Chains A and B, each alone.
Chain A
Amino acid sequence: MAETHSLQELQTPPASSKIFIQRDYGSGTFCRFHTKLPSELESRVDKQQFEETMQTLNNLYAEAEKLGGRSYLEGCLACLTAYTVFLCLETHYEKVLKKISRYIKDQNEKIYAPRGLLLTDPIERGLRVLEITIFEDRSIGSSR
């Protein structure tokens, strides 16, 4: 078996590997992620904790995309103003996305960073995946 050379090894100190939590399309095109704990993280984080984080995230995305009185009102107001209102006001979705960013930052600080993990906000990956960076043991000491 031939050796593989990693460009990362040559250029930057090896620190991390990444795993990706994919979207769950079981109920349509709504933004939901799989809540099952990946096997690579089983040794690092509690299953229940992880599922709680994912479930909260899914609930927040559901709140952003909820069809209800508020979104209809926003839509109608936008239509009446020939959609110029979106240039001035922040939409409900954007507000919830900010909430999600704060939540992820909070979770990272409290739960995941001490375990050498980093959750990347899905919006930075186009809401395709939730990227989790796993830092290697030897770099945990230096990052703490």
Chain B
Amino acid sequence: MKSCEYQQIDPRALSVSPQSAQSHPETKAQRPRRKWEVFPGKNRFFCDGRIILSSHSGVLPLTLGLIVVTCGLFFAFDCPFLVEHLTVFIPVIGGVLCMFVILSLLRTSFTDPGILPRATPDEAADIEKQIDTSGSSSYRPPPRTKEILINQQVVKLKYCFTCKMFRPPRTSHCSLCDNCVERFDHHCPWVGNCVGKRNYRFFYSFIISLSFLTSFIFGCVITHLTLRSQSGKSLIQAIQESPASVVELVICFFSVWSILGLSGFHTYLVASNLTTNEDIKGSWSSKRSTEDSGNPYTYSSIIINCCATLCGPMPPSLIDRRGFVPPEEAAAASHTAEIELPPFTAKNDTNMCTQSTKDVLERMLYSSDFHAVCPVGPSKTTPLGLEVPGSMGPPRAPAVCPRRAIPESAGNSCTTCGRSRKDSLHSINPAFRLASPSPSLTRANMALSDTREDGFIPLP
């Protein structure tokens, strides 16, 4: 139906016109952007995309600091005495272990854990079409799961509202990083990254080597203090002579139990080919169902499980951080920026917000049942009278463009476009009108605020 809403958008304005091309020559000469610059998840990138880190990496400096300080104190205060009284191999072993621990830690933190790139708009539309095959606009809950058979066992695949796809088996969406991660184990704050398919072996080697290192230092410090107190002095005197040893002792004492425990736990997981996520949820626990629902991913023996998890082929990164954004996507984003959203020229978050507005416009043009939506310019704040569930709450401006600080005007505009995206998404697909139970709603809320490419959802 040709309603007045169409007239509010001038499609001709979206095409390349000579005036717009001339007036903004910099869009043609725009340097090609790498994909990491437009990455939708909450990650930080360094060295032009070579290093990836979670935005929530708060405790990583502490982890590194503790390791470096403890090792430093050990080499400075304990090693001279032990070399003199025992053997020169002590600092050698300590040095090798320390290097291994630090390298494994950095490798775990700076490696892509197995992030799945989000579905392209075409894929999302295809999935939507398959789900909504009846074509009716009547209310029905959207199917959130799909059942498949893996090794003769029924496994449910969940639909991810952020990434717009059915998650592959063993994949989980990390809310801290806002990414779907393959073979998701857990998000480790100490390491400052998710632990998933690609960096699990690094994580495992990190905790194993750290167990060895803390046990080694602990043992060496005890030996050092014992040897000192044996030569006619009391323990108190020995401690006074080497106060740094006490510091190391305390750090190692508290670390060794937790690290050893963690190593043991992960060794069990590796041997049974499980992830922390599955173990915690009890996905394959035999108590859950009466039928024999074992782990469908496990191999026939423990050794093969270990080899597969730790020594298996190294899968490549799927997100192609250093690839270049295809010119038509960049051009489309910049055109929308020129025409619709001058305030969005701030920094590099332009692309996220303009892309969302472009999606809004696309959806409006695709939809034939679009009743009350008007295009949202920077000034509008309440575009729709649709059922926006109460728990959506006020717009979360900081969460909409999470990656960098944004100027205030852009912040408000981003909020606006974020909400308009949400509302338009709600209006187009009746399935999304389901004010669903809170868990998925919260996720949908996060998803809708933070998604860069929201993939239009055309009606059949």
Contact = CB atoms under 8 A, between A and B. Distances in A.
Interface of A: 1-7, 10-11, 18-20, 23, 25-29, 64-67, 71-72, 74-76, 78-79, 82-84, 86, 91-94, 97, 123-129, 131
24 contacts: A4-B367, A5-B11, A5-B365, A11-B11, A25-B155, A25-B168, A26-B149, A26-B150, A28-B169, A29-B182, A65-B313, A66-B313, A67-B307, A67-B312, A71-B312, A74-B311, A79-B311, A83-B201, A83-B205, A86-B314, A91-B313, A94-B316, A128-B119, A129-B123
Contacts of A20: 122-123, 126
B174 interface: no
Nearest to A93: B313
Interface residues of B, number: 58
A131 B150 CA distance: 23
Contacts of A92: 313
Nearest to A3: B368
Given A6-B365, A71-B313, A126-B319, A82 B14 contact: no
Interface string B1-40: 1100010000110110000000000000000000000000
B183 interface: yes
B103 A75 contact: no
B458 interface: yes
B296 interface: yes
Contact of B311 (A10, A64, A71, A129): A71
A25 B123 contact: no
Contact of B168 (A18, A29, A97, A125): A29
A128 B150 contact: no
Given A10-B15, A64-B313, A75-B312, A25 B368 contact: no
A129 B119 CA distance: 10
Contacts of A86: 314
Contacts of A7: 11, 14, 361-362, 365-366
Nearest to B11: A10
Interface in B308-365: 308, 310-316, 318-320, 361-362, 365
Nearest to A1: B368
Interface in B149-168: 149-151, 155, 157, 165, 168
B459 interface: yes
Nearest to A77: B311
A123 B297 contact: no
B215 interface: no
Contact of B150 (A27, A74, A79, A127): A27
A82 B126 contact: no
What 7 A-B pairs come out closest when comparing CB atoms?
A: A75-B311, A2-B368, A82-B103, A2-B1, A126-B117, A126-B318, A10-B11
B292 interface: no
Given A71-B311, A83-B205, A97 B458 contact: no
Given A28-B150, A128-B119, A19 B126 contact: yes
A4 B6 contact: no
B258 to A, nearest CB: 23
A91 B2 CA distance: 56
A71 B312 CA distance: 6
Given A25-B168, A83-B103, A4 B459 contact: yes
Contact of B316 (A27, A66, A67, A93): A93
Given A5-B366, A26-B148, A93-B316, A79 B123 contact: no
Given A3-B1, A25-B148, A82 B313 contact: no
B313 A2 contact: no
Given A75-B201, A78-B314, A82-B100, A125 B307 contact: no
B104 interface: yes
Contacts of B53: none
B313 A125 contact: no
Nearest to A68: B313
B123 A27 contact: no
A82 B104 contact: yes
B310 A75 contact: yes
A82 B100 CA distance: 6
Contacts of A65: 312-313, 315
Contacts of B119: 128
B74 interface: no
A93 B150 contact: no
B64 interface: no
Contact of A79 (B169, B205, B361): B205
A66 B307 CA distance: 12
A72 B151 contact: no
A14 B235 CA distance: 85
B439 to A, nearest CB: 24
B311 A93 contact: no
Contacts of A67: 304, 307-308, 312-313
B366 A28 contact: no
A59 to B, nearest CB: 15
Nearest to B307: A72
Contacts of A10: 11-12, 14-15, 365
Considering residues A1, A19, A29, A78, which has the most beta carbons from chain B within 10 angstroms of its beta carbon? A29
Contacts of B320: 124
B202 interface: yes
A2 B369 contact: yes
Interface string B65-104: 0000000000000000000000000000000000110011
Contact of A18 (B122, B183, B311, B319): B122
Given A25-B168, A29-B168, A83-B104, A72 B368 contact: no
